[in-house]
């Protein structure tokens, strides 16, 4: 989940977010509007450098002026995962102004 500190220019923010996802060889799906975006990011196979991809995306989120906070869940299998277990979120600290 990504929480923005503004409600306007959502489409521009979403386009920029998709650009950073694609630049890292990842895919995403989800939805949102105004100040909130709920998204699932596919970061690759275990043989890919998934940690580097996530670090790059996290750096973008931390540097973007519109991002108030963001969180990720534990990794799970989109095809065969037990979605009832997706409850734990790791909160990132708010980005200082």
pLDDT digit string, tens, across residues 23-34? 999 999 999 999
Residue spans of the domains in the chain: they are 2-91
Asked if residue 36 lies in contact with residue 65, where contact means CB atoms within 8 angstroms, the answer is: no
The pLDDT of residue 90: 47
pTM, 2 dp: 0.76
The pLDDT of residue 83: 58
| Cα separations in angstroms, 32 against 39, 55, 56 | 8, 23, 22
pLDDT digit string, tens, across residues 35-84? 999 998 888 887 788 889 999 999 999 999 999 999 887 777 767 766 56
The pLDDT of residue 95: 58
Smallest CA-to-CA distance from 41 within 68, 23, 62 is with: 23
The pLDDT of residue 75: 72
| Cα separations in angstroms, 77 against 15, 49, 52 | 26, 17, 19
């Amino acid at each position: 989940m990504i929480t923005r500190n503004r409600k306007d220019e959502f489409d521009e923010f979403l386009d920029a977010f998709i650009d950073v996802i694609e630049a890292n060889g990842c895919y995403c799906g989800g939805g949102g509007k105004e100040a909130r975006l709920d998204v699932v990011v596919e970061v690759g196979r275990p043989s890919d450098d998934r940690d580097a991809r996530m670090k790059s995306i996290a750096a973008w989120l931390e540097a973007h002026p519109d991002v108030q906070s963001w969180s990720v869940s534990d990794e799970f299998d989109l095809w065969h995962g037990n979605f009832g277990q997706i409850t734990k979120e790791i909160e990132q600290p708010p980005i200082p102004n």
